[in-house]
Chains A and B, each alone.
Chain A
């Protein structure tokens, strides 16, 4: 246990780097909202504003060779797993330089070289394949872990239950990360689940479950390290139940008629993961402004890169159907 704690300890410098990455994801998604509202971005876009500590805490804990499968709310996961802001923004603009070369869009972000097996627009769709990726690692004796992200809404779908059951039965090195933001699109957890503690669903399969505060990036990082060690050492999959908050609507432009203005304000005031981390790092206003402006520059440059990107030819649509 002490060993785990030691491994999970972060220096002030590392924590500052985590903060920078969370801020980058935040500014990136704010820019995506802005450009979508300006009419520049096609498609369906879902931002994960408020959930940055989950993406960064989990992905920073991964080793080279570990893989992730993401969800429709994927920008943070992609950036945290190493896709550059330029490649990500170019994808959102439908350019060849994009991380899916214009074939995917926001809900289908891939970066296989960096271990991102793809965002998935079908809720729960990626989970069985993470069980399969982990099975491949086990059969080949590779010390790798396969990680699935999903939300609380996904815990009601059959693929969730089947994937967890099989992963536990076969004791494969998988990590199931539940980002419990308490909303399945517009439907609150009280209307979509008969139980409040969703960890019980994993425990029902006999799977080890760990709960963690998803607004605390250090805690997420430490819990993920612990979970990965468990999975990597051949002791079976782990369910990481991350308590988090979606500070915005389900999609960009969602008027959120299902939650009151007071609730929306309250969640932003009380559950934004950035201010407490900034306070912990004791960043002065000047230091924060400098960091923020650096990050904004990166995002602005990504928009420039994307706008100057290459449009695919219409007939490129016929490529990549078959290997």
Chain B
């Protein structure tokens, strides 16, 4: 089994799809010679040439729209939006166009496009290069939203995104590009809409996405030392959401923490909390705890940035708070 970094796993999925299928091509800013701002597409120009590894101008509306237009003609483009923050520039094309063509046409149009993008705090890029905006896109009917947290998941899910007949917004977390994992020789597609239970436990369920999956696992290991058994679940796909796996886990543990790097307020975790409270109300022994960033733009100074976004310790504190509540219900 080869060991791949998260970055190499993304590249592997793209390259395999492009090797087997002329309809797949990639486009984006600085993706060719430079290999992308995060080095994800390094070397792909040499293998596939400039027609299929297309550098674009700094022109998010056009590159997003061109990807959508080519997808409607039956190609499977993967557009790289260099930073999540720049999705705001392409939002008209993604939200009003890609997400709605199939619907507005009464089912005539298919839009098999994938938008890869990345973000996340940790390098002090400041307020315009590190936002976590997944909640914006989960709110739009017609889009699928994926946010993998491991090399295996990112590879298998990107493959599924490319071959999904709907527009998929594919979030990668910048600080995860370097993490490594052994992956199978053959790429195993991971179905969109399936959560992954990373760690089983009996006392609390932590539902985490992106970087916070790793923070949650670290928190769980720490909690174990205090005799608290923590289950960590990564939805992996935010839309559609594998409600069943999340709810079943909470029905077992009776307590729940939701954790993501995006700001807590109106974040993806709010929807997860709503799903859990409605479907597992009678099983909950404590209010659902929420972990996320403070309600500010991301500051530059490292000490402020570090303080604003959540870490393993914040997850651990939330675990302890929920366990400290007296149980009442349960089965």
CA distance A165 to B63 in the complex (A): 11
The tally of residues in B whose CB lies under 8 Å from a CB in A reads: 44
Beta-carbon contacts under 8 Å, B207-235 to A: none
Closest CB pairs A-B (n = 5): A128-B65, A132-B69, A101-B106, A129-B69, A162-B62
Q: Which residues of chain B are within 8 angstroms of A104 by Cβ–Cβ distance? A: 104-106
The answer on a CB contact under 8 Å between B103 and A118 is no
CA distance A117 to B97 in the complex (A): 11
Nearest-neighbour CB distance to chain A for B57, whole angstroms, equals 6
Residues of B within 8 A of A117 (CB): 72, 109
Contact assessment for B103 and A321 in the assembled complex, using a CB-CB cutoff below 8 Å: yes
Contacts of B25 in A (CB 8 A): 139
Most buried by A among B52, B101, B104: B104
- List residues 101-121 of chain A with CB under 8 A from any CB of chain B: 101-104, 108, 110-113, 117-118, 120
Which residues of B sit under 8 angstroms from A108, Cβ to Cβ?
104-105
Interface assignment of A166: CB less than 8 Å from any CB of chain B = yes
* Cα(A122)–Cα(B68), bound, Å: 15
User: In this complex, what residue of A is CB-closest to B144?
Assistant: A322
Tell whether A110 pairs with B66 under 8 Å between CB atoms, given A133-B73, A166-B56, A322-B142: no
User: B51 at the A/B interface (Cβ < 8 Å)?
Assistant: yes
Q: How large is the interface on A (under 10, 10 to 19, 20 to 34, 35 or more residues)?
A: 35 or more
Select one of A129, A169, A322 contacting B72, CB under 8 A.
A129
Return chain A residues, CB-CB under 8 Å to B110.
323
B-to-A contact residues, CB < 8 Å: 25, 51-52, 54, 56-57, 59, 61-75, 77, 92-93, 96-97, 101-112, 141-142, 144, 165-166
Is B102 a contact partner of A323 (Cβ separation < 8 A)? Answer: yes
Judge whether B68 and A132 touch: CB under 8 Å. Answer: yes
Given contact pairs A159-B65, A166-B57, A110 touches B92 in the complex (Cβ within 8 A): no
Which one of A100, A135, A321 contacts B66 once the chains associate, using CB atoms below 8 Å?
A135
Beyond A132-B69, A132-B70, A169-B57: 10 further Cβ-contacts under 8 Å? Answer: A112-B109, A129-B68, A130-B69, A131-B65, A133-B69, A135-B70, A159-B61, A159-B92, A162-B65, A321-B102
Q: Are A102 and B106 in contact (CB under 8 A)?
A: yes
C-alpha spacing A111/B104, complex, angstroms = 11
Indicate whether A196 reaches chain B with its CB closer than 8 angstroms: no
Query: What are 19 residue pairs bridging A and B, where the CB atoms are less than 8 Å apart in the complex?
Result: A98-B106, A100-B105, A104-B104, A110-B106, A117-B72, A122-B92, A128-B69, A130-B69, A132-B65, A136-B69, A136-B74, A139-B25, A159-B93, A165-B62, A166-B63, A170-B54, A321-B103, A321-B142, A323-B111
B67 to A, closest residue via Cβ:
A132
Distance to closest chain A CB from B168 (angstroms): 11
**Which A residues fall within an 8 A CB radius of B?**
98, 100-104, 108, 110-113, 117-118, 120, 122, 125-137, 139, 146, 158-159, 162-163, 165-166, 169-170, 319-323
Closest to B108 in A: A112
Most chain B CB inside 10 Å of its own CB: which residue of A112, A136, A159: A136
* Cα distance, A100 to B102, chains bound together (Å): 10
Please judge, given known A-B contacts A125-B92, A163-B62, whether A320 and B69 are in contact too, CB under 8 Å: no
* Chain B residues, CB < 8 A from A163: 61-62, 65-66
Chain B interface helix/strand/loop/mixed: mixed
Report yes or no: A136 in contact with B101, Cβ–Cβ below 8 A: no
- The answer to whether A166 touches B62, judged by C-beta atoms less than 8 angstroms apart, is yes
B-chain residues with CB within 8 Å of residue A323 when the two chains form the complex? 102, 110-112, 165-166
Instruction: Assess whether A128 is in contact with B62, with CB atoms less than 8 Å apart.
Output: yes
- Tell me the bound Cα distance from A222 to B21 in angstroms: 40
Residues of B with C-beta under 8 A to A135:
66, 69-70
Q: Are B69 and A125 in contact (CB under 8 A)?
A: no
- The answer on a CB contact under 8 Å between B93 and A128 is yes
Considering the complex, give the chain A residue whose CB is closest to the CB of B73: A136
Chain A's nearest CB lies how many Å from the CB of B132?
24
Docked complex Cα distance between A108 and B57 (Å): 30
B97 in contact with A129 (CB, 8 Å): yes
Q: Distance (Å) between the CB of A145 and the closest chain B CB? A: 12
Q: Are B61 and A100 in contact (CB under 8 A)?
A: no
Q: Tell me whether A128 and B103 are in contact (CB under 8 A).
A: no
The CA of A158 and the CA of B205, in the complex, are separated in Å by 46
CA A122 – CA B65 in complex, angstroms? 13
